[in-house]
Chains A and B, each alone.
Chain A
């Protein structure tokens, strides 16, 4: 087992090449620029294309073209750049084209800052572009997962002919950790639907325009059926010490790692705490949350945002248990002590309240 000490942003690029990706179109932005720089170094070595575009709008449209031409292709950016790509993402989804987009989230809204946040959840998971579509969203919490989930993202993108987004906070993009890369690379699967410039694919049509209402509705139904398949089978999550937990914390990305330590320390204090970590943010593992809601007394969601994923948790819990929320923003990250303190509060509160169904939800934050 050989491991390489590598930055999250660089691991993404190596994984993409091993996954058979042969083109990268991107534009520098902090804290994702190392992805573009690593792509400039590695893609030519793999016989692939690297192009620094004139903007994120250009990047996503180059990806649109490369995907239509049948290539495994990708781009990477951070919040403001992802916002610019939303038009293209909608067209890619509407045209059923696979591609991988990496979002190393920074602080917002507007110019915000370059420090890590998780405030892109809404624009990435709920779809910041127009129309009825979904994107597959994977949320790594380690550099190893930056590799593994990038690899998986290419497969899911092809399986569902849909954009897949690897979204993480600036911490995971910027940190260095040991990574075990796959020892062999794979080739991109055949894409008989693409326009390959040969006789067989001459009649293939890649489009998102359906002028007749009936045709467009039929296309939307087709997409919905596809999303429904992904929604029942592709969910990924990590459940840690949840089997007997009375307080279950929920967080993804860097937050899940801090929560894990807080859960261990709470257990040492006799608090039955657990951690549930969604790895896919869409499809969201709502059925699994529904199941653990059977036995836990309350939930505590922690995000580096003003409360975006917490909405999905509340939908999954459906009012059966209190869903508490704690957040930090602006690039601040909670300490273990800070989260442990919140955990203690939540556990005491849920013990006090015998009749959970009548209790109000607790909200607090920065």
Chain B
């Protein structure tokens, strides 16, 4: 596989590959199965607070899963610790509720032990970015075929309301009674820095967009990362509402579409223009600005520089981007690993454990 860009036709090919179950992640030698959303639900009592944004993410994942045509026994959901990490209990697939921050490492072990499994990692801003920051970066960097969804609610919900690595500077909460003095981290910036090959963002209150992003993530081969803005209505209610409420969304958010100019606003008359490295908002028709001045989004660009700039755009200075920032194809870790195994076998012949063990310098004592 080459390092070529990932384009629409390549994606379609890839999707059809999955549909025809020739792909490893689809269960070797099995024909596509017809499942419904119900098949992915469990009898477990969902223990999230009423009104939590997590319900929406669960519903969209359960909606997307049957469309992938993968048998449930070939799917694994792996989580760490936090509210989001209760997710595997609610998916009728294989699931692991693991250690705080360690889900990406655990998932790496699962994927390499059985590459035909489709492996999902469900994590949160605390789990992935504080204690798990290390594992998160290295799972992305290796380009292992993991599908990581980060529920970002900018708070520690499970321990009842302390600030998280994404909490806004100055936010008052139980462990920062005078407001936090920790600068928040941008999860997308981390993913770009770690060379993730798929990076996207969506939100709990836009289920249609969310399901599209989950689907895109599912079809990506390699380390995929989806950040979901998720409202914690108990400990951090309304943290995203200044820009994501329906009434203001058009003017304060921008949906990324590959190959299309970055336009937003009710009438799509505003856009993002890049002058040197700083994005600016321009109005089409004003000051001689035309559609040609608007940055055209290219999620397949090999260098993530422009995506990085887009990923850093925050309200109120900019509209908040939603969508796929980056989708490129590189050989995955497991492909290269098994490539090395095949190569060493082709050079040295099939393995013989006894021969190997007795291959050192040996001598007999008489």
Residue pairs across A and B with CB atoms within 8 Å: the count is 45
Minimal beta-carbon separation of A275 from chain B (angstroms): 35
Docked Cα-Cα span, A37 to B156, in Å, equals: 13
Please tell me which stretch of B172-180, B188-196, B305-313, B348-356 contacts chain A, meaning at least 4 of its Cβ atoms lie within 8 angstroms of it.
Answer: B172-180
Contact B100 A80 (CB under 8 A): yes
B92 within 8 A of A: no
- 8 other A-B residue contacts (CB within 8 Å) besides A27-B130, A27-B131: A28-B156, A40-B174, A52-B162, A52-B182, A54-B130, A54-B133, A55-B101, A55-B131
A41 CB–B CB distance under 8 Å: yes
8 Å CB contact of B159 from A28, A41, A56:
A28
A60 to chain B, nearest CB (A): 13
Inside 8 A of B160's CB, which chain A residues have their CB?
Answer: 33
Q: Is the CB of B174 within 8 A of A54?
A: no
A302 to chain B, nearest CB (A): 30
Is there contact, CB below 8 Å, between A41 and B162? no
Interface flag for B14 (CB, 8 Å): no
Q: Which residues A76-93 have CB closer than 8 A to chain B?
A: 80
CB-CB under 8 A from A56, the residues of chain B are 131
Shortest beta-carbon distance from A82 to chain B in Å: 13
Q: How far is the CA of A37 from the CA of B172 in the complex (A)?
A: 12
Residue B165, interface by CB 8 Å: yes
Query: Do the beta carbons of B162 and A33 come within 8 Å of each other?
Result: yes
B162 touches A37 (CB 8 A): yes
Q: B158-173 vs A: 1/0 string, CB under 8 Å? A: 1110110100000000
Say yes or no: is B97 at the interface (Cβ < 8 Å to chain A).
yes
> B residues bordering A, Cβ < 8 Å?
81, 97, 99-101, 130-131, 133, 156, 158-160, 162-163, 165, 174-178, 182
The 25 sampled A-B contact pairs (Cβ below 8 Å) are: A27-B131, A28-B175, A30-B158, A30-B159, A33-B159, A33-B160, A33-B162, A33-B174, A36-B175, A37-B162, A37-B174, A37-B175, A40-B174, A40-B175, A41-B177, A44-B178, A52-B162, A52-B163, A52-B176, A54-B165, A55-B130, A56-B131, A80-B99, A80-B100, A111-B97
Residues of B within 8 A of A29 (CB): 159
Query: A18–B206 Cα gap in the complex (Å)?
Result: 51
CB neighbours of A33 from chain B (8 A): 159-160, 162, 174
Give min CB distance, A92 to chain B, whole Å: 20
- The majority secondary structure among interface residues of chain B is loop
**A83 (CB) vs chain B CBs: closest residue:** B99
Please give me the residue from chain A that is nearest to B85 by CB atom. A111
CB distance from B96 to the nearest CB of A (A): 11
Q: How would residues 221 to 245 of chain A score, 1 for a CB under 8 Å from any chain B CB and 0 otherwise?
A: 0000000000000000000000000
Give me the 4 closest cross-chain CB pairs, A-B, nearest first: A55-B131, A28-B159, A54-B130, A40-B175
B351 to chain A, nearest CB (A): 35
Residues of A near B182 (CB, < 8 A) are 52
CA distance A36 to B182 in the complex (A): 16
How many Å lie between the Cα of A33 and that of B158 in the bound state? 11
Residues from chain B with a CB closer than 8 A to the CB of A57 are: 131
| Interchain CB contact under 8 A, B130 and A28 | no
CB contacts (< 8 Å) of B130 on chain A: these are 27, 54-55
Known A54-B130, A55-B130: A36·B97 in contact at CB below 8 Å: no
Interface centre among A27, A33, A54 (most CB of B within 10 A): A54
Nearest chain B residue, comparing its CB with the CB of A56:
B131
Q: How far is the CA of A80 from the CA of B160 in the complex (A)?
A: 18
Name the residue on A nearest B81 (C-beta): A111
Task: Give complex CA distance A33, B235 in Å.
Answer: 15
Query: Do A40 and B176 form a contact, CB below 8 Å, given A52-B182, A54-B131, A55-B101?
Result: yes
- Chain A residue numbers with a CB within 8 Å of B158 are 30
Residue of B nearest to A34 (CB): B174
- Complex formed: what's the CA distance from A36 to B160 in Å? 12
Complex: A40 Cα to B163 Cα, angstroms: 11
Instruction: Select from chain B the residue with minimum beta-carbon distance to A80.
Output: B100
A52, B175: Cα distance in complex, Å: 7
Contacts of B81 in A (CB 8 A): 111
Q: How far is the CA of A37 from the CA of B133 in the complex (A)?
A: 23
Instruction: Knowing A37-B174, A52-B182 are in contact, say whether A28-B162 is a contact too (CB < 8 A).
Output: yes
In whole Å, how far is B14's beta carbon from the nearest beta carbon of chain A?
Answer: 36
Task: Give the docked Cα–Cα distance between A29 and B101 (Å).
Answer: 13
Distance in Å: Cβ of A110 to nearest Cβ of chain B: 8
How far in angstroms is the closest Cβ of chain B from A235?
36
Chain A residues with CB under 8 A of B99: 80, 111
Specify which chain A residues have a CB less than 8 angstroms from the CB of B177 in the assembled complex: 40-41
CB distance from B201 to the nearest CB of A (A): 22
Most B-side CB within 10 Å, residue of A27, A28, A29, A33: A28
Q: In the docked arrangement, what's the CA distance between A50 and B99, Å?
A: 26
CA distance A79 to B177 in the complex (A): 26
Q: Within the complex, what minimum Cβ distance (angstroms) separates A187 from chain B?
A: 25
Residue-wise interface mask of A (19-36) relative to B, using a CB-CB cutoff of 8 A (1 in contact, 0 not): 000000001111001001
Residues of chain B contacted by A37 (CB below 8 angstroms) = 162, 174-175
Complexed CA–CA distance, A54 and B126 (Å): 8
User: In the complex, what distance in Å separates the CA atom of A41 from the CA atom of B133?
Assistant: 27
B-chain residues with CB within 8 Å of residue A28 when the two chains form the complex? 156, 159, 162, 175
* Cα(A56)–Cα(B176), bound, Å: 18
Instruction: Output the least CB separation between A15 and chain B (Å).
Output: 20
In the complex formed, the residue of B with least CB distance to A57 is: B131
Of all chain A residues, the one with the shortest Cβ separation from B129 is A54
CB distance from B175 to the nearest CB of A (A): 5
CB contacts (< 8 Å) of A30 on chain B: these are: 158-159
Instruction: Please report the C-alpha to C-alpha distance between residue A27 and residue B160 in the assembled complex, in whole angstroms.
Output: 13
Q: How far in angstroms is the closest Cβ of chain A from B345?
A: 38
Q: How far is the CB of B197 from chain A (nearest CB, A)?
A: 26
Chain A residue, CB-CB nearest to B181: A51
Residue in A27, A29, A44, A80 with the greatest tally of chain B CB atoms within 10 Å: A27
CA distance A54 to B162 in the complex (A): 12
Question: In chain A between 112 and 161, which residues have their CB closer than 8 angstroms to a CB of chain B?
Answer: none
B178 contact set on A, CB distance < 8 A:
44
Please name the residue on chain A nearest to B130 by beta carbon: A54
Residue of A nearest to B132 (CB): A55
| Chain A residues closer than 8 Å to B162, beta-carbon distance | 28, 33, 36-37, 52
Contacts of B133 in A (CB 8 A): 54
